[in-house]
Structure 1
Amino acid sequence: MRIRFAFSSEPFEVQSATFTVQHATCIDIFLVDVPFEHLFLVLKDPEQQIRALLTCKTRTKHFIVSESAASSSNNTLAGKILPGIWTITFVRPALHVGAVVLDVIPGDTPTGVTTPDNFSVLSQRPNRVLQHAEKWYRGDLHCHSYYSDGRVSLSDICDSAEDNGFDYLAVTDHSVITTRLPHRPFLVLPATEITLDNEVHYNAFGFNKLIDYGHYFSWHNVSKNTILTQLFHDLSGEGVLISINHPFSEGMTLQHDFDVRDIHLFEVINAPHLAGHPIDNDKAIRFYDFLWNQGFRLTATGGSDAHKPDGNGVYPLGKPTTAIFSRELSIAGLLAGLRAGRTTISNEVDCQLHLRQSGRTIYPGDEVSGEVNFAASCSAHALSWRLMKNGDCVEETYAQTFIRNISLQKGDVIRLEARRNEEIVFFMTPIHYGITLPSVFQFAALLAQFLLTQKD
C-alpha cells in the first residue's frame, strides 16, 4: 500500500492513515520519497501499541516490523502482527514544504538481513547489574548512526565503544530510540536526542518505551512550547532524565520555552573535535554556571556528538567522555548517578579527582558545608587548573596536579575545571551548599537574563 502525506501550511501538523492486516508475520516499511528533515512516523497496531518510531532524517530507507526479534529492524518493536486495522501517523513538528511518500507492505517473509546477534535495548531490566562495584564508569552520552543523520552503522559505534574500553554507551539518534543493538560487553542506556527543529536539542535517557509524538502534536490551538513543556513534564515523571544540548552551536536559534524544573542535565562540552569549533562550549559553561547561581542543580555532561569519521578516518566517539560515579554498573545505577550530579567530563586527558572532608570522600554534585580538599591530577600533561566559585575563577595553577582546600559558605557553588591551550579538557559538576531555590522557571526568561550579562 502506498501512503502519501502532503504538508499543510500550519506551523506543525499530524496526519494519519490506516491499512488492514489479515494474515502476516511482518510489515515492511519503505521510505520512498521523504525530505531529509526531522519528521516522524509512528506505527501502531490494532491495540494502539506503538510498534515503530521512525524519522525521515535517516539514511536508512527500509524498516521491518516482525514477529521475530532477529528480523525486526532497529527503531521497531518485535511482537505479534495482529490482524486488524493498523495506523501510521505522520508528525511534522516544524514548518516544511513538500510531502512524505512511503510503502507499507504486510507479508510473511521479511525482505531484509536478520540480526540474531542483536539484543532488545528496551527489554533490559533497569536493575540488571553488569558490575557489582561502586566506582567511576566511563562512556559517551551523545552519538549518531545512519538511523538518523550519522554516517556510521550501529556495529561501527559499538566497535568503537569497545575499543575505547567504555563501561556504557548511549546512542542518541535524533528523536528515535535505538531498540536493537549488537551484543557487546558494555551497558547500553536507552536514549534519544529529541529534535523538533534547530532551535534547541535535548538528550533524554532512561526510556522503557517509544515516544508517541503524535499524541502531543495532535493537540489543537496550542503552541509548540506548550507541547514541549508537557512532553518534558511527562518524561520526567516517568524517570527519564533530560539534557539541554550544545545551546550555543551554529544554527541554534534558542526559541523554545519550557519549565527548566523538568530538566536534569546540561551538556557543557559538545564535539570539541569538530574542525573550526562551530560550538561555543565556553559560552555554554557560562550559561551553566548562571543556571546554578539561579538555583538549578543541573548535572554536567559531555558528548562527542559523533556523526562520522574525522579527517583521519577515525570515528571520534569518546571525545569527550563522561564519567559517572555509581554504586554499580546498571541502568538504574547510572541514572541515579546522573541525577545526583556525580559526573566528570574529560576530553583526551586522563584526569583523576578526589574530594575529601574530614577523612570522608565527597563527590561532585554533593551538598556540603565547610572546608573541602580538592586533589586532582593529569597523568600526561600539565594543565591550567581553575577553581571556580559561583562562576568566577578564584585560583588558577598550571601544573600536572592541583591540591587546594576551600571552604563552602551558604550560597556557594564550587567546581574545578582544567584547560589545555585555553580549550576545556576537564570539568566536574559543582559541589554546593545552601543555594537558594529558583524564582524564575521558564527557559526563555532565564536565557534572556543570561544574555544580558554577556558582552558578545
Structure 2
Amino acid sequence: MEKTVTFYINRTTPAKLEEELVICKPLKRLTISVDVEKEEHTLMGYLVVRDEKNRIRIQKMLGYGERTIVIARHAKNTTIGGVPGPIGAGTWKIVIYLFAEYIEQTLEGVSLPFRIQISDRKTEIQETIGKCLWVDRHYREQLWLGYYNKSSFYSSRGRWYKGDFHTHTHLSDGKESVSSAMRKARMMDLDFYVPTEHNIIPTGWEDDYMLILPGVEITTKIGHCNLIGIDKMPERLPEIMEYADTPEVEEYLYEILREAKKREWIISINHPFLTIWKWKYGEVGLDDITCLEIINDPTYTDARESNDQAIRYLDFLWEDGHRIWGIGGSDSHNLIEERYKGSDKPSIAGDPGTYVFCPSLTPELLLKHVKQGNIYVSRFCTADVRITSQSKSFFPGDRMEDVERKIMMEIEIFGNELEEGITPVIWIVQNEKRIKLTTEKTKKGYRAVGEVHFLKGKWNWARLEARTADGEFLLYSNPVWQGAKRNRFRTYREALEAFHAN
C-alpha cells in the first residue's frame, strides 16, 4: 500500500488540511514520510492521524525530529506521540494543522510544497514511545492516559525535589530528542520533569528513571499556558490547533481552562510578559489560575525584563488577596551548545530549577504540594528555607492561623557559582514592601535572617527573594500567608490594567 499527498502551503492556506486514506485490509504498520525543501519547514505544522474509528493514532509537531513516522502494534515500534495498536481496514484521515506563528513569520510571498508519503513498509526508527506507555489501549476519540500511574513511588525522603515545569523535545519544536533531554535532565540533577509540548499530549515516555508528569502547553496567539498533571487530551485541543490564530480561539481556550479546573489540573500562565508570546487572554478568572511562570528561560534575550515584571505582577496579585504560586520553567528548545544572543550560558532543562517540598515523591504528592505552593525557584543555587512562628515550622506557601504573630524567616543559600564571588543580596518582601537583610558568609554558603509581624484580622503575606549585587535573579520563595482580603480584581485583564496604571 502506497500513497503520496502533496499540500502547497502559503499565508492564505486554511489552518486545517485533511486527506482521506483508504486501507483495504489490516496492516502491520503505517509508515509516514514527510518531505520538505528545508528542515526548518517541518515547523509549519502538526500531523494528526485518525484511524477508521476516528481515534487519534498519532499527534506530533513535525519539528526537528525524524521525518519518518511509524504507527505499529507495539510501543517499541511506534513513534513518540503515537498510539500503538492494530492498523484496521477502513477510511483513515491524515490531518495537517498549520502552526500559524511560523507561517506568519516565514512564508511571506512564497508557497511551499509539503509532501507526505504513506506506505506499510517496514522502517527502522530511533524515536519510539519507549517502555512506559501511558495511553489507554481502549482509547476513545480523545486520548486518555489511563495507564499513567499517579501513585508510582520514587523516594521516601521528605525534602526539596528539583524539577522543570516547562520543557520541549522533538515531540513539538524542541531540538533535543527525548533521550538527549533525559540525559541532560539527569546531568542537572532533576528529580522530576514535565513534558509540555505545544498542543501535543505525550502518550508515553522512554523510561521511568525519574518522575515524569504529563503536561501540555496550550499554544495560541493570545497566550500560552501549561496544563500540568493531565490525565487526558483536552476536549477542545483540535479546535485550538485549527483556530489558534482567529478570534474564535478565545471561546475554545475558555472551554479548555474550564475543563482543566473541573479535572483539577494545574493551570500555569507561561511567560506572561515576554514580547510576542505574552499572555493576552484577559478574561481568565484569577481564581482559576494555579501558577504564574515568574522565571522563564533566563538565558533568552528579553528574559530579564519580562521575568522581573512577572514577579512584580505576582506581588501585585498577592496584595489584592489572590493566592497564585510562582513557578519556574526553562522552556528550553535548544541544543546545549547553542546560545541566545547576549548569553554565555545554554538554555537547558533545570535552569531555573523549581523546588517542591514533598514528604515523599509520587506524582500525586508532587501535584498536591505544587497546589499548596510549597515551592521555591532558583538559578545557580539551592537553599535551606526555615520559617518559624510560635514554635511551629512552616514551608513557603503555608497558611498560618489568623493570630497576631512574629515570624522568623531564615535562609541559607548554597551553590558552586556563589563560591566564584557572587554574594547574594537577600530580601523579605512583605505585602509588597521590600526589606533588605544582612547577609553573612557561612562555611557552605550565605545566610540571612529577618523578622516580620503579622496582624490578626488583616491580609498578611511574606516571601524571600535573592539576587546578585547587580540585580540578576537568584531565588524566589512563595509567600507564607494568613487572613483574607476582598479582591478588587476578578479577571486577569482587570488586574493587569491596574498594574500598568500603578
119-128 or 283-292, which deviates more: 119-128
Distance 1:269 1:278, change over 3 A: closer
Q: 2:359 aligns with which of 310, 327, 346?
A: 327
Q: 1:52 aligns with which of 49, 52, 58?
A: 58
Q: Which amino acid aligns with 1:392?
A: K
* Percent identity over paired residues: 22
Q: Once the 2 structures are TM-superposed, how far is the Cα of residue 249 of structure 1 from its aligned partner?
A: 2.1
Which structure has the larger Rg over C-alpha atoms? 2
Matching of residue 154 in structure 1 with residue 202 in structure 2: no
CA contact (8 A) 2:430 2:461 kept: yes
How far, CA to CA, are the matches of 1:263 and 1:341 in structure 2? 12
1:248 is aligned to 273
CA contact (8 A) 1:204 1:240 kept: yes
1:389 is aligned to 430
2:411 is aligned to 376
Q: 1:209 aligns with which of 225, 232, 240?
A: 232
Q: Once the 2 structures are TM-superposed, how far is the Cα of residue 36 of structure 1 from its aligned partner?
A: 5.0
Q: Which amino acid aligns with 1:386?
A: W
How far, CA to CA, are the matches of 1:209 and 1:53 in structure 2? 13
Distance 1:49 1:436, change over 3 A: farther
CA contact (8 A) 2:82 2:129 kept: no
Q: Once the 2 structures are TM-superposed, how far is the Cα of residue 324 of structure 1 from its aligned partner?
A: 0.9
Secondary structure of residue in 1 paired with 2:437: strand
| 1:149-188 → structure 2 map (5 Å cutoff) | 149-183=173-207, 185-188=209-212
Distance 1:78 1:268, change over 3 A: same
Runs of 5+ unmatched residues, structure 1:
none
Q: Which amino acid aligns with 1:350?
A: T
Q: Which amino acid aligns with 2:231?
A: N
2:139 is aligned to none
- Give aligned pairs, total: 452
CA contact (8 A) 1:356 1:362 kept: yes
Q: 1:68 aligns with which of 48, 58, 74?
A: 74
33-42 or 395-404, which deviates more: 33-42
2:443 is aligned to none
246-255 or 160-169, which deviates more: 246-255
How far, CA to CA, are the matches of 2:130 and 2:15 in structure 1? 38
CA offsets per residue over residues 31-52 of structure 1, 9 Å max, x none?
A: 3349455743332223332222
CA contact (8 A) 1:225 1:257 kept: no
356-365 or 308-317, which deviates more: 308-317
Distance 1:182 1:291, change over 3 A: same
CA contact (8 A) 1:42 1:214 kept: no
| 1:297-308 → structure 2 map (5 Å cutoff) | 297-307=323-333, 308=335
CA contact (8 A) 2:437 2:448 kept: no
Q: Which amino acid aligns with 1:321?
A: G
How far, CA to CA, are the matches of 2:15 and 2:294 in structure 1? 33
2:448 is aligned to 402
CA contact (8 A) 1:417 1:427 kept: yes
Distance 1:114 1:444, change over 3 A: closer
Q: Which amino acid aligns with 2:30?
A: I
How far, CA to CA, are the matches of 2:129 and 2:276 in structure 1? 40
Q: Once the 2 structures are TM-superposed, how far is the Cα of residue 442 of structure 1 from its aligned partner?
A: 2.9
Secondary structure of residue in 2 paired with 1:170: strand
Q: Once the 2 structures are TM-superposed, how far is the Cα of residue 14 of structure 1 from its aligned partner?
A: 3.8
CA contact (8 A) 2:97 2:241 kept: yes
Q: CA RMSD in A?
A: 3.1
Q: Once the 2 structures are TM-superposed, how far is the Cα of residue 118 of structure 1 from its aligned partner?
A: 3.9
Secondary structure of residue in 2 paired with 1:208: coil
CA offsets per residue over residues 325-354 of structure 1, 9 Å max, x none?
A: 223211111111111111111100121101
| 1:298-377 → structure 2 map (5 Å cutoff) | 298-307=324-333, 308-309=335-336, 310-311=338-339, 316-368=348-400, 369=402, 370-377=405-412
Q: Which amino acid aligns with 2:484?
A: I
How far, CA to CA, are the matches of 1:58 and 1:237 in structure 2? 35
Runs of 5+ unmatched residues, structure 2:
135-144, 441-445
How far, CA to CA, are the matches of 1:104 and 1:241 in structure 2? 39
Q: Once the 2 structures are TM-superposed, how far is the Cα of residue 230 of structure 1 from its aligned partner?
A: 1.0
Distance 1:296 1:191, change over 3 A: same
1:451 is aligned to 500
Secondary structure of residue in 1 paired with 2:412: strand
2:282 is aligned to 257
Distance 1:332 1:4, change over 3 A: farther
How far, CA to CA, are the matches of 1:354 and 1:314 in structure 2? 32
Distance 1:366 1:2, change over 3 A: same
Secondary structure of residue in 1 paired with 2:171: coil
Q: Which amino acid aligns with 1:133?
A: R
How far, CA to CA, are the matches of 2:67 and 2:281 in structure 1? 30
Q: Once the 2 structures are TM-superposed, how far is the Cα of residue 444 of structure 1 from its aligned partner?
A: 2.8
2:465 is aligned to 417
Q: Which amino acid aligns with 1:371?
A: K
Distance 1:351 1:230, change over 3 A: same
Secondary structure of residue in 2 paired with 1:280: helix
CA offsets per residue over residues 236-262 of structure 1, 9 Å max, x none?
A: 322321211122223335433341333
Matching of residue 435 in structure 1 with residue 438 in structure 2: no
| 1:45-194 → structure 2 map (5 Å cutoff) | 45-92=51-98, 94=100, 96=103, 101-103=114-116, 105-107=118-120, 109-113=122-126, 115=128, 118-121=131-134, 122=145, 123-183=147-207, 185-194=209-218
Distance 1:187 1:254, change over 3 A: closer
177-186 or 32-41, which deviates more: 32-41
2:256 is aligned to 231
How far, CA to CA, are the matches of 2:123 and 2:131 in structure 1? 16
How far, CA to CA, are the matches of 1:104 and 1:258 in structure 2? 43
Matching of residue 23 in structure 1 with residue 26 in structure 2: yes
How far, CA to CA, are the matches of 2:271 and 2:303 in structure 1? 12
